[in-house]
Amino acid sequence: MDRELLNDNDFLRDSGFCGHTACPGCGEKILLRHVLDVLGPETVIAAPAGCAAVTDGIFPHTVSPVPFLHTAFGAVASGAAGVRAGLDMSGRENVTVLAWAGDGATFDIGLGPLSAIAERNENIIYVCYDNEAYMNTGVQRSSATPSGSWTTTTPSGRLKSEPKKNIDLIMASHKIPYVATASPAFLDDLKMKVAKAKRLTGFRFLRLFSPCPPGWKSDPADSITLARLAVESNIFPLFEIEDGERWSLSYESSGVPVARYLKTQGRFRYLSDDDMARIQRETDRDYNRLKSLHQYNGYQKIVVEEQ
């Protein structure tokens, strides 16, 4: 079927989007489906080595309904910039370039090129599907791994002690047009933010919560429940930052205790009650700071319905 005849609501359904090799309950594939549903067929994906690249289908097949460029681990930002330049030179400015990378390629290995294209305000949407470790290569610690988490490089007795890097603040400091967080448990909010990013020009950064059952030692059936608990406990608040300065909360949580979120995952099973109390205090502190930024900018809070 000629893809130009398909509208944005039909092209994913008609393409099938099936046959990937992702794990059951994988947040990344759930997120990619809904992001592409908003962006539509006039999209090109650039993705580094990682979960997205190795679960795209078995060679020579792909489940991607749009062109999918594979890049080296730390080169997704550079690859996306090259695609953008080529499209612009060929007169196809209307095509969306989507850089799609995990936290390892974003927070760590690819941070330099990411900062470079943000500083140049390249016309790219960059999405980090944040599963909080190097999942594709065996659940190793990244700077997105939260304090107290087990990984294969922070085993029992040596749990990660450092806090998670604040990549959103780092990106906002580049004064780019748009930074936002979103969750697969709040699809209205997710799609609204992707649509907003599509309407804007310049560099746009979205960090999406991406449950990983094998890495988190959780039940695959609980991925959306976990995503909802992360938001409701303020572990993963939903917000937007425009032009590096205007902060707004997208959802006011119910304040679920963080212990309810932590106890659903085997990666946190080594935490003591004191550890959980410390994480609760740190979460409350960070959320209160975010609320003060929201109030300082005088934004009207937007409350979205749970899915």
Cα–chain center distance at 219: 20
In this prediction, residue 6 has a pLDDT band, given cuts at 50, 70 and 90, of very low
In Å, how far are 72, 219, 225, 273 from 211, measured between CA atoms? 24, 10, 10, 24
Beta strands in 107-197 (DSSP E): 125-130, 178-182
CA atoms of 151 and 121, how far apart (whole Å):
35
CA atoms of 192 and 195, how far apart (whole Å):
5
Q: Average pLDDT, stretch 70-99?
A: 96
pTM to 2 decimals? 0.91
CA atoms of 50 and 67, how far apart (whole Å):
17
| pLDDT of 297 over the 70 cut | no
| pLDDT of 169 over the 70 cut | yes
Q: Which residues pair with 208 in a beta bridge?
A: 129, 182
Sheet of 43-48: strands edge to edge? 68-71, 43-48, 96-102, 125-130, 204-209, 178-182, 239-242, 246-249
pLDDT of residue 11: 57
**Residue 71 token pair:** 């890049």
**Domains, the chain, ordered by start:** 3-296 (3.40.50.970)
pLDDT tens for 256-295 read: 999 999 999 999 999 999 999 999 999 999 999 999 888 7
Q: Name the strand (E) or helix (H) holding 279.
A: helix 273-296
